[in-house]
Amino acid sequence: MKFRAKIVDLACLNHFTRVSNMIAKLAKTCTLRISPEKLNFILSDKLASGGVSMWCELEQENIFSEFQMEGVSAENNAIYLELTSENLSRALKTAQNARALKIKLTNKHFPCLTVSVELQLSSSSSSRIVTHDIPIKVIPRRLWKDLQEPSVPDSDVSIYLPALKTMKSVVEKMKNISNHLVIEANLNGELNLKIETELVCVTTHFKDLGNPLLSSESASQSRHPEDMAEVHIDIKKLLQFLAGQQVTPTKAVCNIVSNRIVHFDLLLEDISLQYFIPALS
């Protein structure tokens, strides 16, 4: 297996740094999948046991000026690496205003993702290289089947999200009252965030958000526009998702499968992020 890539454009470097910061906030450890066209950051906690799951995808040609990789084999041309997200984020933070950044797969007594940052010295035309060796675990081929793009179940209601900053400030206040939250939405563009305890019931209403067309038209046609689909989730998991967003998305959709799962689908410039939070049993 071989992998090496280079970024020389400052805008691309800053963009990649923002992505890594977001991933570090969403997942302590994650899988980095490298293929000839794409990079994926994957978190695959078992939804059945209450874990969240994430699939983030970016086209390598939008980020890297050079990109070479050889996967496990010709028919399985991919590399799956497990790493601590914060380590990558921390390495990239040193690359602000760098001349160039190189990433490659190395073996220095243990497998590493080596990040080399070429920094311009302000007083002269010379530069210095800062190198970070990020420990990784190479994931064997037999485990890849658990790290595929999640299939999205047919949702009962799909709705555009309000401004994520607004949503985050609302959820932060609600977290002080309850550990659980109900997200409910209908096909009239209405979304409610609701907490109920023995002492208090608090609901925040968002209206006129708009609804994307559902892929399963039959489901939406048989559903009355006023009927709410709802899912009861852990408030901390929602807050972690909202806190991870560094960039205002160009598209942000929430898909609700009643009493089963909430699926967030975000487009951030040219990066897609899917995030799944299971319902509380």
* Residues sharing a CB contact under 8 Å with residue 44, sequence separation 6 or more, in sequence order: 31, 53, 146, 147, 150
* Token output for 229: 């689909």
Identify the sign of the CA torsion 90, 94, 97, 101: negative
Name the residue with tokens 């000839």: 36
Domain boundaries, the chain: 2-146, 157-278
* Residues sharing a CB contact under 8 Å with residue 129, sequence separation 6 or more, in sequence order: 116, 117, 118, 119
Query: Would you say the CATH fold of 157-278 matches that of 2-146?
Result: yes
Question: Phi and psi of 148, rounded to 5°?
Answer: -90, 165
- In tens digits, the chain (281 residues) has pLDDT values of 999 999 999 999 989 999 999 999 999 999 999 999 999 999 987 655 568 899 999 999 999 999 999 998 888 899 999 999 999 999 998 887 788 999 999 998 899 999 999 987 776 677 888 899 999 999 999 999 989 888 887 899 999 999 999 999 999 999 999 999 999 999 999 999 999 988 899 999 999 999 997 655 545 557 788 889 999 999 999 999 998 887 788 999 999 999 999 999 999 888 999 999 999 97
Specify the pLDDT at position 98: 85
Indicate the burial class of 92 (C-beta count within 10 angstroms; 0-12, 13-18, 19 or more): buried
Q: Which of 176, 101, 164 is nearest to 132 (CA)?
A: 101
Q: Do the bridges between strand 229-234 and strand 180-185 make them parallel or antiparallel, or are there none, so unpaired?
A: antiparallel
Specify the pLDDT at position 218: 46
Instruction: Look up residue 142 and give its amino acid.
Output: R
Q: Which of 50, 275, 54, 274 is nearest to 180 (CA)?
A: 50
CA distances from 108 to 29, 98, 114, 134, 253 (A): 21, 25, 9, 10, 43
Q: How many C-beta atoms surround the C-beta of residue 124 within 10 A?
A: 7
Specify the pLDDT at position 32: 96
CA distances from 74 to 70, 77, 79, 187, 245 (A): 8, 5, 12, 46, 36
Class of 2-146 in CATH: alpha beta
* Token output for 5: 């890539």
Predicted structure pTM score: 0.90
* Residues sharing a CB contact under 8 Å with residue 74, sequence separation 6 or more, in sequence order: none
Specify the pLDDT at position 149: 87
157-278 carries CATH number 3.70.10.10: yes
